[in-house]
Structures are given as C-alpha cells and as structure tokens.
C-alpha cells in the first residue's frame, strides 16, 4: 500500500494573499486530479481554530494538535504526518519532517529584503537554509525562481523542481459588477493595477501614468492592501495620485474589474511567478508588464513590457494600448491563448507525481 499524502493546511487559517491563493487552488486541483486518476485524495491536516469553510477545498480533512501557527507546524504537524508524504504549499515546513515537499515561491527575502519586516526576513532565511540541508524536496513555481533560490541557498538548481501555476480559477467565479457602480467606473474607461502595496510592487512609479490618465478623464484604479506582519510598510505612503483605491476585493469583484478595464498594468520589481497578469489575460484584459525575467517567462509575447524603473515608459506603454484599438485587440486574443497554457490541474499533476515518486 502506498503511503498517504498529507497537505499542510495551515494556510486555511491565514489571510488570503498570493501564497494562500496558490495553496487553495492547488488543493482544489489535487482533489480533481486524484479523482480522475482513481487514487485516494491527499488528506488536509489543519490546526484547531477557525477555517474559512466557504474556501475549504474538497479534500478529506483532519484536525490535529492543540497549538497554532509556527509552533503547530514545527512540532505537531510532523507527528501527525508521520508515515506519509507531507505537502507544504506556502514557503514553510517543519524542520523535523521525514518525507516532505516544500514549495518556496520566490527568493524575495534575499533579493528584495527591504520589502519585508526584519522578523519575517530572518525567519525565512534561516528556515530555508536549514530545509535545503535536509532531505526535504524543494519545489518552486518558475524557472526564474529556481535560478534565484539555487543562487541564494547555494544549492544546485537540479535540486529544485518547477510546477507552475494556473489562472482558470478567475473564470469560475461569476463577475460582480457592483464594484464598478460603487466606484463610478465605466467599462473600458479605466486602467487597473493590482498589488499588496509592498515596496517591491513598485506602485509608486505609476505616478506619471496616473497624471497622464487624469488629463484624459480616465482613472487609475488600484486594488490591494498591506500585511505589516510580513511586509515592510514604510514604502506604502508614497503612492500614485490621483488614483481610485478600492482596497481588497472578492474574486467576483476582481473578475469584473479585469473584464471592464481598458488595460492592466503590473510594474512589479520582483515576483516569483506573477499571477495577476495571467488572471488579467484570462479575462481578456490587455497587459502592460514590468520588463523583468519572470514576467517575460510567464506572459511571453502576450504582453507589452516596460522598464519598471521608468515611470514615463510605463505610462507610454499604457497610452499606446488606449490609443490604438488594434493593439488592444491583439493583446486580448494573445492573452487568452497564453493564459490557457497555465492550469492548476497541470500544476497539481506535476506535484502529485513528485509526491508519488517520494512515496514509492
């Protein structure tokens, strides 16, 4: 009999951000793929406490231990997963785990340390250095992140597998257009940016764009928030003006914004994958992305690229889409095709294969 596959469910107790979104969608896909293969589904191990039931994936779940947070993950979770293979989906994992996989999404704490609080940065650096010196199987989400992690952790790139991400989740949630009327937004008459407002998201360099759009009577709409327990919030005071800040939004509201926006702009200085541009493409929204390696890898020829250190270049790229309908139409078609090549089921199949190889 094959050993059971367990999933570290700590992410279900955390606020939804990029890493938690990844974990949630991978778990949904693990359930679908396991069913299609006729294999037992992985078992979700969670701590006691409040779980967002509406978002909980369709996996068998077991509540284990009495602790919470890092103490639960380091000391109670590995005991509960003994004898099986443990999937850790959100950058952290128990140091005492025997057969386990950890997905490290990026090397941001090394490459862009100023974006993170010192406590978070120190913990992640120590944890990742120690994990890569155990038998833990390392996985990441892009070739760029694999190269970065190998360099900073001083290990061969071949020790790190790549599984990618998906974008089809955005099409599964019905659009909620109420957000448009709530903020007096008209279809194809605004430009959208999405970010958590951490410094490396580089939203401050959208100031020139915000000014150029205001002269045309077109708002720049920004969705996102900042988690100060993770990110260094010191850089969040210098933000583009004028702009319409809508804060955190639901999936339905986000889909409505993507579908109605004339353009999506993503000026980030650093990403491990870059999911928002792919979501925008899946919704038929033209994309202007920062000219950085990982976004070239993910978006390919389906986006227009601009130097993220040059506010005028970003603004000019967006204005080009607004002024030339043929360019916008071409990007919509190319974007939908590009997004279709990234699926959560494909990522889950790759992850399951790694787990099954470890179990054999």
Whether the per-residue pLDDT at 237 is higher than 70: the answer is: no
Q: What is the pLDDT of residues 192-201, one digit of tens each?
A: 999 877 788 9
Higher pLDDT, 113 or 143: 143
CATH of domain 5-166+343-359: 3.40.50.2000
The pLDDT assigned to 230 comes to 39
Whether the per-residue pLDDT at 354 is higher than 50: the answer is: yes
The pLDDT assigned to 155 comes to 96
Q: What is the pLDDT of residues 306-326, one digit of tens each?
A: 999 999 999 999 999 999 999
User: In whole angstroms, what is the distance from residue 19 CA to residue 15 CA?
Assistant: 10
Average pLDDT over residues 187-206: 89
pTM of the model: 0.91
Name the residue ranges covered by the structural domains of the chain.
5-166+343-359, 174-339
Residue 319 makes CB contacts below 8 A (sequence gap 6+) with: 212
Cis peptide before 266 (omega within 30 of 0): no
Range in 73-77, 167-171, 232-236, 248-252 the model is least confident about: 232-236
Q: Distance of CA 157 to CAs 103, 106, 154, Å?
A: 14, 13, 9
* Average pLDDT in the chain: 91
Average pLDDT over residues 140-162: 97
HSE, CB side, 13 Å, CA atoms: give it for residue 113. Answer: 9
HSE, CB side, 13 Å, CA atoms: give it for residue 67. Answer: 12
The pLDDT assigned to 239 comes to 77
The pLDDT assigned to 238 comes to 66
Whether the per-residue pLDDT at 265 is higher than 70: the answer is: yes
Higher pLDDT, 117 or 255: 255
- Going by pLDDT thresholds of 50, 70 and 90, the confidence category of residue 1 is low
Average pLDDT over residues 87-92: 96
Q: Do domains 5-166+343-359 and 174-339 have the same CATH topology?
A: yes
Coil, strand, or helix at residue 255?
A: helix
The pLDDT assigned to 112 comes to 85
**Short-list 191, 186, 199, CA closest to 242:** 191
Class of domain 174-339: alpha beta
The pLDDT assigned to 345 comes to 96
HSE, CB side, 13 Å, CA atoms: give it for residue 111. Answer: 18
Whether the per-residue pLDDT at 56 is higher than 80: the answer is: no
**Short-list 203, 321, 182, CA closest to 256:** 182
CB-CB neighbours of 314 under 10 Å: 28
Q: What is the pLDDT of residues 91-108, one digit of tens each?
A: 999 998 789 999 999 999
The pLDDT assigned to 233 comes to 46
Whether the per-residue pLDDT at 356 is higher than 70: the answer is: yes
């Amino acid at each position: 009999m094959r050993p059971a596959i367990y999933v570290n469910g700590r992410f279900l107790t955390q606020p939804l951000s990029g890493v938690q979104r990844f974990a949630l969608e991978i778990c949904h896909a693990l359930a679908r793929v396991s069913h299609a293969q006729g294999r037992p589904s992985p078992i979700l191990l969670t701590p006691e406490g409040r779980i967002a039931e509406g978002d909980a994936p369709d996996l068998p779940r077991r509540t284990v231990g009495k602790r919470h947070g890092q103490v639960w993950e380091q000391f109670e979770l590995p005991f509960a997963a003994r004898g099986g293979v443990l999937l850790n989906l959100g950058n952290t994992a128990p140091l005492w785990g025997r057969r386990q996989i950890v997905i490290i999404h990026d090397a941001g704490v090394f490459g862009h340390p100023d974006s993170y609080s010192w406590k978070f940065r120190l913990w992640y650096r120590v944890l990742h250095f120690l994990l890569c010196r155990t038998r833990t199987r390392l996985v990441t989400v892009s070739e760029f992140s694999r190269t970065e992690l190998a360099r900073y952790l001083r290990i061969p790139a071949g020790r790190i597998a790549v599984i990618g991400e998906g974008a089809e989740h955005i099409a599964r949630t019905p659009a909620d257009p109420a957000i448009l009327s709530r903020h007096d937004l008209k279809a194809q008459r605004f430009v959208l940016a999405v970010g958590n407002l951490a410094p490396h998201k580089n939203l401050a360099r959208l100031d020139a764009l915000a000014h150029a759009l205001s002269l045309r009577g077109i708002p720049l709409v920004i969705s996102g928030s900042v988690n100060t327990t993770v990110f260094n919030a010191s850089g969040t005071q210098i933000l583009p003006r004028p702009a319409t800040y809508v804060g955190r939004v639901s999936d339905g509201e986000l889909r409505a914004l993507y579908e109605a926006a004339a353009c999506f702009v993503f000026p980030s200085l650093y990403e491990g994958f870059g999911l928002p541009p792919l979501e925008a493409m899946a919704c038929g929204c033209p994309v202007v992305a920062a000219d950085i390696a990982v976004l070239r890898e993910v978006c390919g020829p389906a986006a227009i690229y601009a130097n993220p250190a040059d506010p005028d270049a970003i603004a000019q790229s967006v204005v080009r889409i607004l002024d030339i309908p043929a360019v916008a139409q071409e990007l919509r078609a190319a974007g939908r095709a590009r997004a279709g090549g990234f699926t959560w089921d494909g990522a889950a199949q790759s992850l399951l294969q790694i787990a099954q190889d470890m179990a054999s």
